[in-house]
A and B are shown apart, each in its own frame.
Chain A
Amino acid sequence: MVQGITEPLGSIYAPLMQVYGGQILAGISPGHGGQQLEGIPVFDLVEQALLSVGAVDTSVIFVPPYQVLDAALEAIAAGIRQLVLVTEGVPPMDMMRLCRVAEASETLVVGPNCPGIIVPGQILLGTHPAEFYTPGTVGLVSRCGTLTYEVARELSQAGFGQSIALGIGSDRIIGSTFQQWLQILDEDEQTEAIVLVGKIGSDSEEVAARYIIEAIDKPVVAYIAGRTLPQSQYTGHAGAVVSSQIAGLRDEIGTAESKIAALKQAKVPVAERPSQLPDLLKQVLKGSTRTSAKS
């Protein structure tokens, strides 16, 4: 299902998703019920669509930022348990509320501010440009948007197709985390190795690195963007210092150095540039498990 199918992004990507092979049963756009978009029937309300088309696995949401929470709650209320939020600019307060509801209802929420998920050759749930992806055995999980495309392109050109590729979202509060996807990819039979793409800011990569040590058996390689980004001009007042420290973001956390150190501690090789990722994959795939591959 596509919510916000008549919005600018929805009307561009719903047909592309349809063409790629996913079965788009319905589009939602209040006030446009009864219309069709490239053969996809449009409904005013999610529950109304489900009565007509039957059960839906996933909803991809393209509505404007301040309507994302409502659209997601509507989908969850109708029983849909996988959501992809593409829209950028969802207020954190809305995401906090959505995360609470998603946890209680065991709904998987990807995003917001993300390109969604692609299973190359099979299904597209989001905005990934299909041309950069090829089917294969590398799981790609990223906190970036266009950089995910860049990495997929490098992998595909080097002969490393992807089992699943996704961007979990660039915002500070997102639904599903690196850990959740590392676990999914670790259990996925199609996936032989995992590429993790991160960037500076937040503690996502540090937490992911700790999780890799604890729970991930498959080989992981990584790339971190932002090693040379100039220090922010922002002069923190006492409150900012206090709040970032208390929130676990001590000064040194969130920098490229901290992320790379954490990943190295987890024996995850970190590429100097995206084009180096295929070489690292070749190295780690020589051994069958993470621990034996990177001593």
Chain B
Amino acid sequence: MDLLEYQAKQLFHEMGIPVLPSQQINHPKDLKGLKIPYPVVLKSQVYTGGRGKAGGIRFVENTIDAVAAAQTIFNLPITGMYPAVLLAEAKYDADRELYLAVILDWSARRPLLLGSQRGGVDVEATIDTMQQVVVDQEFSPFYARRLALKMGLQGELIQSVSAIVEKMYQLFLQKDLDLVEINPLAVSSAGELMALDGKITANDDALGRHPDLATLQEKIPHQIKTKMLPRDLADTTLVELEGNIGILCNGAGLTMTTLDLVHKAGGRPASFLNLGSEYRHNNSPEVLRDRIQRGLELMMQSKNLKVVLVNTLGNVMLCRQTAEAIAIHLQHQAGSRVVPFVVRLVGDQFDEARQMLQALNLPLFHNLDEAIAEAISLSK
């Protein structure tokens, strides 16, 4: 889960990383009660980068200009997203701008400290000069100093920048983050440091043990959420495509394989739905059946849909729950538009599921290639 800039800065502030005085603006008229002295920077709070170049950041000198600028920014989509919130922040005169980040190095399975003396908007320059330090054992501040020296910092900046990196690392660890980034970290002519912009990505799997982060998403006014589904349905997110075959599978690899085979055989998927692997510790038959049913309902909303291809594989309860969910779904659909199903169920309880579905006159398959050929012929 990505945090917006103002949310990231709140966490920075709690951790003792210096940030400018700022105020959250939910509506242009909020600027009339602004407590920060002008000049002020107004910043669009969207998840994507490049907002400065897109016109989402404006400097204003007085209330009249600020209200007008806020109206413009609220109505300015950045890569299709409108901000629900602006951040009004004091203006800061930076002498230099650094880049700092703590990320997970997935391959090395270790945290990685990143830093560059060329922070700011020029991403290419930042990447070209990027220095990295792997935290291969228990963290200690020397890792941060190692980064500072690799970045080429000298004198007092070595200690002051290291101290910021150390705080970023603590935040990273305490909150189970995938990414903490400060870009730019401004250095004033007096050598003071200030985090002017920040980015935090929280790990989705760990949100359950960080209720403070999980609620941040709810605090964002709702127009910014496009198609956000409840957390328990995260794996039941329907991905919509252009074609006319709906695909329902269990497990990411099997879902991808089914999509690949449909494409290869000349079919065009309308949507696909991954019911998830069976390694969730709390999967119960009821939860599973409910997810399959809700997934089918979402899938049926597509007007192009001509056929549903179900491909599930496994053992224990899966086959029976899939068959039951399809049966219930067809009962609910009775009388309305009927979309044919092609079902491939392979597992221990196949016989029971087969009987249930045979009673509904659904074609059942063992072989995946044959099931796909049938689905494609029904989609033409």
Contacts and interface: CB of A to CB of B under 8 A. Distances in A.
A65 B205 contact: yes
A235 B79 contact: yes
A49 B214 CA distance: 38
A9 B208 contact: no
Interface string B306-331: 00000011111000000000000000
Contacts of B173: 93
Interface stretch (A50-58, A187-195, A223-231, A262-270): A223-231
| Number of chain B interface residues as a range | 35 or more
B80 to A, nearest CB: 8
B288 to A, nearest CB: 11
Interface string A54-76: 00000000111110000000000
Contact of A9 (B103, B105, B283, B348): B283
Contacts of B277: 88, 113, 145-146, 170
Contacts of A245: 127
A64 B203 CA distance: 17
A147 B368 contact: no
B257 A170 contact: no
Interface stretch (B86-94, B106-114, B292-300): B106-114
Interface string B240-272: 010000000111111011011101100000000
Contact of A146 (B99, B284, B314): B314
Interface stretch (B19-27, B151-159, B178-186, B353-361): B178-186
Interface in B273-307: 276-284
Contacts of A199: 252-253, 256
Interface in B1-54: 47-50
Contact of B369 (A147, A153, A275): A275
B63 interface: no
A162 interface: no
Contacts of A91: 176, 203, 205-206, 209
Interface string A138-152: 000011111111100
| Number of chain A interface residues as a range | 35 or more
Given A87-B279, A93-B173, A225-B256, A246 B114 contact: yes
Nearest to A248: B107
B216 interface: no
Interface in A64-110: 64-66, 86-93, 95-96, 99-100
B375 to A, nearest CB: 15
Contact of B253 (A8, A86, A197, A239): A197
A16 to B, nearest CB: 8
Contacts of B77: none
Contacts of B183: 238-239
Interface in B166-206: 173, 176, 178-179, 181, 183, 199, 201, 203, 205-206
B352 to A, nearest CB: 15
Nearest to A95: B109
A285 interface: no
**Residue picked from A99, A199, A225, most chain B C-beta under 10 Å:** A225
Given A87-B281, A89-B205, A237-B47, A96 B110 contact: yes
**Residue picked from A146, A202, A241, A246, most chain B C-beta under 10 Å:** A146
Contacts of A92: 104, 106, 176, 178, 203, 205-206
Contact of A247 (B112, B241, B276): B112
A172 B101 contact: no
A213 interface: no
Interface string A207-240: 1000000000000000101111110000111111
Contacts of B99: 242
A145 B49 contact: no
Contacts of A12: 316
Nearest to A174: B109
Contacts of A173: 104, 106, 109
A230 B252 contact: no
A96 B256 CA distance: 28
Contacts of A9: 278-281, 283
Contact of A170 (B250, B252, B263, B316): B252
Interface in A26-56: none
The 8 closest A-B pairs by CB, nearest first: A144-B253, A147-B253, A237-B49, A146-B251, A91-B206, A129-B315, A225-B256, A226-B256
Interface of A: 4, 7-9, 12, 62-66, 86-93, 95-96, 99-100, 112-115, 127, 129, 131-132, 142-150, 153, 170, 172-173, 197, 199-200, 202-204, 207, 223, 225-230, 235-243, 245-249, 272-275
15 contacts: A88-B277, A92-B176, A127-B278, A142-B253, A145-B277, A146-B250, A146-B251, A146-B278, A173-B104, A225-B256, A229-B260, A235-B48, A238-B50, A238-B123, A243-B101
Given A145-B254, A225-B252, A225-B257, 9 more contacts: A65-B205, A87-B280, A93-B176, A146-B251, A199-B253, A225-B260, A235-B47, A241-B49, A248-B105
